[in-house]
Amino acid sequence: MRNFVFGVVVTILVLLIAGLGLALLGFLPTRANRSPGKMENHIAMSALDNSVDRHAPRLNNPVPPTDENLIEGVKIYTTNCAGCHGNLDRQPSPFGESFYPSAPNLIRDPPDDPEWHLFYVIRNGVRYTGMAAWDKTLSDPDIWKVTAFLSRINKLPPAVQDFVKASNAVPAPTSTPEAHDHK
């Protein structure tokens, strides 16, 4: 049994050293203008979700989802996030699509994570993705407002939908099938 465990440990170490060697010698692809493969995407998303689940405090949003706060969330999103994550017209951002992996279009494909998860990611960013940490740029209440907007994007109150339409000349996102029309 002792030899078996030793063999497993040695095998794992050899694989790790070989992988590190391949990376350091430049054999792993680093081009950002290619889409990640399914396995790479799955591993990366699982690692991100598990890391956030492990490190993020499960806080309740202290900012109530009033029309005023949601409208502020729309404004903050449009000013700071739309350039990478898509504007309220549901169209992808060419800039966001140039990242590796591409920045998710949060209007066309709204996040289904809990608010504490969204807040943590926005506040702290995500390494190796281009997602900046916004804690030095936005206040926590402003991050919570964006979080409230993103978590309610398909069920915005009428006054917020009217604001979106008036200020952007596009209908507000809804949960109708056209909102999820992937082109």
DSSP 102-161: PPP-TTTS---S-HHHHHHHHHH-BTTTTB---TTTS-HHHHHHHHHHHHTTTS--HHHH
pLDDT at residue 57, rounded to an integer: 96
pTM (two decimals) = 0.80
In which band, very low, low, confident or very high, does the pLDDT at 178 lie, cut at 50, 70 and 90? very low
pLDDT at residue 168, rounded to an integer: 72
Tens of pLDDT along 4-62? 999 999 999 999 999 888 888 888 777 777 778 888 888 888 999 999 999 999 999 99
Question: Could you give all domains of the chain from N- to C-terminal order, each with its CATH number?
Answer: 42-180 (1.10.760.10)
Q: Residue 182: pLDDT above 50?
A: no
